Amino acid sequence: MDKIITIDDKSPDNTISVIKKCQQINPKVELIALEENEGVGGAIAAGYKWARDND
Q: What's the chain's Rg over C-alpha atoms?
A: 11
| Per-residue pLDDT at 23 | 96
| Per-residue pLDDT at 27 | 93
Type of residue numbered 20: K
Whole-model pTM: value is 0.80
**What's CA 18's distance to the chain center, in Å?**
12
| Per-residue pLDDT at 12 | 87
| Per-residue pLDDT at 11 | 85
The residues pairing with 13 across neighbouring beta strands, listed in sequence order, are none
List pLDDT tens digits, range 5-27: 999 998 888 889 999 999 999 99
Percent of the chain with pLDDT over 90: 84
Q: How many helices (H) and strands (E) does the chain have?
A: 2, 2
